[in-house]
Chain A
Amino acid sequence: MTLALGDPLPAFDLPATDGTRHAVPGEAAATVVVFTCNHCPYALAWHERIVAVARDYAERGVRVLQVNSNDAERYPRDSLEAMAERVARDPQAWPTPYLHDATQEVARAYGAQTTPDVFVAGADGRLAYRGAPDADWEDEALGATWLRGALDALLAGRACEPAETKPVGCSIKWRT
């Protein structure tokens, strides 16, 4: 299934590495759901840019959730334990909850393809941007400009431009 622009973000309620649970929908001026993981160089290269967005927009009511849906049996580095170890090694790098989608149902509901794959909804909970954080994993100076642009547009009551870009990264590791 692939989510279309304007569709409500599929609901979920997932555990985070600290034992708390986080659900969508939730009260927020905008919600960002990022599918990510521990061992993908694209996800790692974009991580700092994404968490900088989470810090910069938190006071404006933007909620950022990072979700790991990879098959942890074939890829043990993506187990909940490995996720918790990663957060514990550098808590400052995680201003967002890091959620575990053990059944992969959330990734399937969103039609997530890669890590990272970014989904953004406004206060109405409907998908307004989907794709990459910015145009180039290699260029840190871009600073997740597509994601920031989408949030700026939503917070100002405008449509996102672009509203869709091609997600770039490692394939989600589906169970076989």
Chain B
Amino acid sequence: MSRAPRVELLFWDGCPSHPRALADLRAAVAAAGLDPGLIEVREVPDEAAAERERFPGSPTIRVNGRDVVPAGDEPVMLACRIYHRRDGRISPVPDPDDLRAALAAALTEGAS
């Protein structure tokens, strides 16, 4: 049996995207057969917290500590984060397929 992964959603309140991101994440967690209640939601209130969390923008979603969409060399920033949907469109939230893929990878790792 695999252990439930750690799923974190970090957000900055100056960006309006986190309710939508949380809804997408809850749906992806439930679709993976996990309890959406395991999601840890944390606000990043200021630049000091952003530095501590290595926060590249809001929202940031991590599964077992890994960003569901690696931020690359994005600087730490209190701002809305830019994502790209799998069809190339710009979006303020990750593609739901990226959430599902990150969760599936974590569950596979946890089972091995």
Contacts and interface: CB of A to CB of B under 8 A. Distances in A.
B81 A168 contact: no
Contacts of A75: 77, 79
B92 A39 contact: no
Q: Which secondary structure dominates chain B's binding surface?
A: loop
Interface string A32-64: 000000011110110000000000000000000
Interface residues of A, number: 15
Contacts of B71: none
A44 B91 CA distance: 8
A171 interface: yes
Interface in A19-41: 39-41
B44 interface: no
Interface string A118-139: 0000000000000000000110
A39 B90 CA distance: 11
Contacts of B92: 41-42, 45, 137
A108 interface: no
A39 B79 CA distance: 8
Contacts of B19: none
A173 interface: yes
B52 interface: no
Contact of A171 (B15, B81, B83, B89): B15
A140 B90 CA distance: 11
Contact of B91 (A39, A45, A169, A173): A45
A39 B83 CA distance: 11
Contact of B83 (A41, A169, A170): A41
A41 B91 contact: yes
Interface string B75-94: 00101111100000111100
A140 B89 contact: yes
A75 B17 CA distance: 19
